[in-house]
Amino acid sequence: MKKSLLFILILILAAQAGWTQFYRDYSDAKRREIAEAYYLAGVQYRSVGEAEKGGEYQELAFIIYPRLDPADIQLRDLPSAAALISEGRARLLAIPRERRELTAELIRSKFLQLASALLAEDTDSVLRLFEGSIYLSAYGQELSNEQLRAELERFFAAVTLGGLVPSQIYDLSSMKIDPVPSAAAAWGETWAIRVNATIDFSEEITFWEESQQFLIHKADNRWLFMAIGGELPPRGWQPVSAPVSARRGVTTDTETGREIKQAFLSCFEFFLNKDTSRAIAYFADEITLLRLNTTISRQELGSTFTGYFESTDFSSLQPRDIIALDSIFVEASEQLKDLRPGSLYLLTAETRLDLSAHIPFWSRFQEYYFAEEGGAWKIFAIF
């Protein structure tokens, strides 16, 4: 193979096309060829220590050609970069999907999770999203986890939140999510979420303002909220580390974890086959949609699926085309004990396709809660 394979691949990918969805008018064979080149570029990036960038290229490969099978990719000789440039068939290509966009989506999901937990009056779930202490810039003071708990409990006692969804207390169209480079040295990777409130709770809870800012940072590989208010905390301030949530161990590779993962993928397979009755068999009689703060029946979910099937062709798709299989993670969970007795498990997954216009619980980063029912693992809540 020619030397400088990575550089050559990047050049080839840009040949004869602008970047924005350039592949949509190409033949199936051409899309596969381009997707294979992107995947190989990702391999090369990973081999030189650029794992994050390599992942971005490989993710795009599956977007361009969802049926891509890495095992079928054949390495082959490629024309030299000089030849491509001289023929006018190549130019440098920008990163296909910025890491910034992916991180912003994840942080948006975390904020919606916070808003949903707030509306569910679930103090423990709210606190799990925060560091062990937070800084309130409007007051120039630190609030411990227990002080925040007391604030929340007073808030829940003073207001009625039942039936509300996040879009009714926040103008989600006003949300802006941006990195805060100046904060990185003090608190690691830090992002700001700015959003306007549509309901005034300022009399009931300390941090509520018409225009709100939340700071979230990455700590021990977890995204946690660390401050609320329009100003950064003082440079020398550090939050108390959040207590590590009690876990009974990662279960993806245990028998229970494999059973739950298989149930999840089987559900999607029946979904893609438009087999509504078998797809909804993997759901409990009632499903709580935590993001929407509502509950629907299994039959209502089936009707949603059926309506979607009428205008959609899934014949060429597999579960791996919709779900990033390597993102699936199963763990025992202590959350939602008030909804279900017994052992509960949380399956998290990242999706490849956006179906949110038709399926109410759809988001890029999803959480499915499983409980055993009738000898089988079934989904009883979704975030």
Q: Running DSSP on this structure, what letter comes out for residue 168?
A: H
158-194 pLDDT, tens digit each: 998 877 778 889 998 899 999 888 888 889 889 999 9
Phi-psi region of 13 (alpha: psi -120 to 50; beta: other; left: phi over 0): alpha
Q: Which candidate, 25, 37, 130, places its Cα nearest to that of 45? A: 37
Q: Per-residue pLDDT for 3 more than 70?
A: no
pTM exceeds 0.75: no
- Average pLDDT of the chain? 76
Interatomic CA distance for residues 331 and 254, integer angstroms: 10
pLDDT at 184: 82
Residue, of 38 and 359, whose pLDDT is higher: 38
Q: In the prediction, which pLDDT does 20 show? A: 39
CA 331 to chain centre: 17
Q: Which domains does the chain have, with CATH numbers?
A: 5-86 (no CATH), 99-228 (3.10.450.50), 255-382 (3.10.450.50)
Plot region of 92 (φ>0 → left; ψ -120 to 50 → alpha; else → beta)? beta
- 110 vs 5, more confident: 110
Q: What is the identity of the amino acid at 81?
A: A
- 3-state secondary structure string across 261-323: HHHHHHHHHHHHCCCHHHHHHHEEEEEEECCCCEEEEHHHHHHHHHHHHCCCCCCCCCHHHHE
DSSP conformation class of 137: T
